Amino acid sequence: MELDLKGRRAVVTGASRGIGLAIVQALAAEGVQVVGGARTISPELADAATHPLEVDLSTADGPGKLVEHALSELGGVDLLVNNVGGRSVSAGGFLDLDDEGWRKGFDLNFFSAVRAIRAALPELLENKGTIVNISSVNAHLPVPRLVEYSAAKAALTSLTKALSEEYASQGLRVASVAPSAVLTDTWTNPLRAEKMGMTVEQVVAAVPKWMGMSTGKVIHPEEVASVVLLLASDRVPNAVGADWLLDGGTVKSV
């Protein structure tokens, strides 16, 4: 399938590793000029991105700085991928989180996207561009030990729908992707495996069962990147406001 993405200009947040890096690499392979933002510029990101930027995207001005950098270096933006996310606090349930824990969780997983979208929106509207928000299966399956993360990702999914309702008639396409367990250092961290009394290989093998994945297979970052590329292309022009569940069968409800 020809995606015809060559020459487009993209901004990807949380781009140094995992899903974000896979998205940057996939876009670059299609001839897209990519600005990737992350707190640390990994060698892989430096190699793949056209103009990487070291930036803390959880801060109030970080996402805006990244978009400004892209506009300066690329002359415009056609695609924004809000990928940055994760956990910045450790909590086993609701009462383990104070206001600061909630703030950190939402700054990283929700407000980073809000701020990046606010900064890029005029340019994206002018270019009839695309926004892809990387949400999570936990937006559909909240669990106590991930309470602030699940809530923030649910808010991100809701934001996707709201933006589509407001701007689809102006040619802006907004969609989200909600993966289940992806093969990143969340699961391959040796220290985490050691604390669990397991090897990394044992942890990775057990993840599909823990997550209730019908396929029995962990998702690879490149799978998420493939969905992002499809949504970024003109092949699915009516994919607006959609939340693309990439979960290996984790969610059992209709």
List residues with catalytic annotation: 149
Burial class from Cβ neighbours inside 10 Å (0-12, 13-18, 19+) for residue 50 reads middle
Quote the CA–CA distance of 230 and 81 in Å, as a whole number: 13
Quote the CA–CA distance of 85 and 114 in Å, as a whole number: 13
Quote the CA–CA distance of 84 and 41 in Å, as a whole number: 14
Phi, psi at 34, each rounded to 5°: -125, 130
Name which of 137, 120, 118 is nearest 129 in CA terms: 120
- 242 close to 176: Cβ distance less than 8 angstroms: yes
Phi, psi at 43, each rounded to 5°: -55, -35
Side chain identity, residue 109: N
Contacts (Cβ under 8 Å, ≥6 apart) of 2: none
